[in-house]
Amino acid sequence: MTDSRALVVLPCYNERENIERLLRDIFALDLDLDLLVIDDNSPDGTGTAAEAMRARHPRLFVMHREGKLGLGTAYRAGFHHGLDHGYANVITMDADFSHQPRYLLDLVGLGAAADMVIGSRYTRGGGAEGWPLKRKIISGAANALARTVLGVTSRDCTSGYRCYSRQALVTIDPDTVLSSGYSFLVEMLYRVERSGLVVREVPIIFVDRELGRSKIDRIEVYKTLYTLGRLRFPHLPWNAVANLGARTGERNAALAFGLFAAGLWLLLRRKH
């Protein structure tokens, strides 16, 4: 039986400085929401802090995983929980206040009429605060590249602040999404649009974290470039490249993937 409520999925790793206040702020909203904290055995005790709040909030659930298994697998676990428990919508957001809880009102509201709603930094009224120029350039370039290579129409391809309908998750089947990390977001959007499902964007102001450390590193940039190449040119021998990566180590593999995909795309652009 499908529930009309939405489930908010919060992947966490070392977010003890933020998690308690974030959960309080979300529960203070006048929304019919359940929350699922997915903790990857955070050394700082994030999972313990979430469990302490669970005793006071019956609509809070905590999933403890054995280690740092990655953002993509956390999303999949959250999607499965949402589908298995009959939720109509599953919302993903960061646990560091970069995704402000107040925008949940817009995501939930529009989620009744769309299969995916994106909290977008790149639609009219959106933006980012506290970012250095380098990060703005990288983020803007990554989104422009994704739109150009994949032909998606959404402006913000890498935002993790999203509301998915049950229909979108059933249609896409997240278990078949091959990407991991932040490139998982790009592949999900690409497949949702390719399936003809309805995608909408609502403007958000992304606020750089005040407490804790960012989890994004250079390897995620390489993985995203690789993902763009794999999705745009699926007939190429990507499995052979992946097997090479298994022998040379993840970081070297990611660099090879990224350079291979970017070089191939530039070559084909020149031919046209």
Predicted pLDDT of residue 74: 96
190 pLDDT more than 80: yes
Q: Which residues contact 159 (CB under 8 A, 6 or more apart)?
A: 118, 119, 120, 121, 185, 204, 206
Report which of residues 212 and 31 the model is more confident about.
Answer: 31
Q: How far is it, in rounded angstroms, from Cα 242 to Cα 226? A: 10
Reported pTM = 0.85
Tens-place pLDDT, residues 61-93: 999 999 989 889 999 999 999 999 999 999 999
Please give the average per-residue pLDDT across 228-235, as a whole number.
80
Instruction: List Cβ neighbours of 76 (8 Å cut-off, separation of 6 or more).
Output: 174, 175, 177
pLDDT at 178: 86
Q: pLDDT at position 47, please?
A: 96
Q: How many CB atoms lie within 10 A of CB 163?
A: 28
Compute the distance between CA of residue 124 and CA of residue 14 in angstroms, rounded to an integer: 33
Model confidence over 144-169: pLDDT tens digits? Answer: 989 998 999 999 999 999 999 999 99
Domains belonging to the chain, first-starting first, are 3-213 (3.90.550.10), 217-272 (no CATH)
Q: With bands split at pLDDT 50, 70 and 90, how would you rate the model's confidence at 212?
A: very low
What's the CA gap between 108 and 185, in Å, rounded? 19
What's the chain's average pLDDT? 86
**What's the pLDDT score for residue 3?**
64
